[in-house]
């Protein structure tokens, strides 16, 4: 009788242990798939090859929650978070500018202020290029350009706003 109870208790514990292991394995796999890929700098996110970022264009890097753009030889990483109240700011291909859908702030391709309630231009992250690959340091945020500062690129809107208002 006692042996029967011991066997039942053992099977029950083994079953619970197996279920717990399967749960842990699933959680580990999910975390491993979803976590941002970090570069050798710890807070850095490995992104794309530098030659993928075209002059005059913008590349979104969702793992870094940032955009990459180029001015000559310089690569600039722009945080996608609006400095006003934190909405994600999409890049409007047809106008060639960033347009915040929440309260209408507009920024040029470098994230410099154009209009709206934002207190400054879009914030930036330091970048580093190693073996032709861009690493974005998402742990460090540099405040965007001053609201009153002149734009450093001469790129007026290329077409109508995605919001249809600018
Ligand atoms: S959050 Fe972007 S303008 Fe308000």
Atom of ligand 1 nearest to the CA of 103: 3
Contacts of residue 149, defined as CB under 8 A and 6 or more positions apart, other chains included, come to 112, 113, 121
Output the ligand 1 site: residues, CB below 6 A: 82, 84-85, 87, 100, 102-103, 105, 116-118
The count of other CB atoms within 10 Å of the CB of residue 27 is 10
Q: How far apart are CA 12 and CA 18, in angstroms?
A: 10
- Res 14: pLDDT: 80
Among 78, 81, 87, residue to substitute to test ligand 1 (most atoms within 8 Å of Cβ) = 87
Atom of ligand 1 nearest to the CA of 89: 2
CA of 54 to the centre of ligand 1 (A): 27
The C-alpha R_g of the chain, in whole angstroms, comes to 24
Atom of ligand 1 nearest to the CA of 87: 1
- Res 134: pLDDT: 98
What pTM did the predictor assign? 0.75
CA of 132 to the centre of ligand 1 (A): 34
- Res 39: pLDDT: 45
Q: How far apart are the first and last CA of the chain?
A: 83
Nearest to 121 by CA among 74, 69, 61, 48: 69
Splitting the chain (166 residues) into consecutive groups of 10 residues, what average pLDDT does each group show? 69 78 68 51 86 95 97 96 98 97 98 98 98 97 96 96 76
């Amino acid at each position: 009788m006692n042996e029967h109870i011991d066997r039942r208790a053992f099977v029950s514990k083994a079953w619970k242990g197996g279920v717990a292991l399967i749960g842990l394995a699933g959680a580990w796999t999910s975390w491993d798939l979803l976590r941002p890929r970090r570069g050798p700098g710890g807070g850095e996110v490995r992104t794309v090859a530098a030659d993928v970022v075209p002059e005059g264009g913008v590349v979104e890097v969702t793992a870094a929650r940032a955009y990459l753009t180029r001015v000559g030889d310089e690569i600039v990483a722009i945080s996608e978070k609006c400095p006003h109240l934190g909405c994600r700011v999409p890049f409007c291909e047809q106008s060639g500018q960033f347009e915040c859908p929440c309260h209408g702030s507009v920024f040029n391709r470098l994230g410099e202020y154009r209009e709206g309630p934002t207190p400054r231009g879009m914030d930036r992250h330091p970048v580093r290029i190693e073996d032709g690959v861009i690493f974005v340091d998402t742990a460090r945020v540099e405040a965007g350009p001053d609201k009153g500062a002149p734009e450093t690129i001469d790129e007026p809107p290329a077409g109508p706003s995605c919001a249809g208002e600018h």
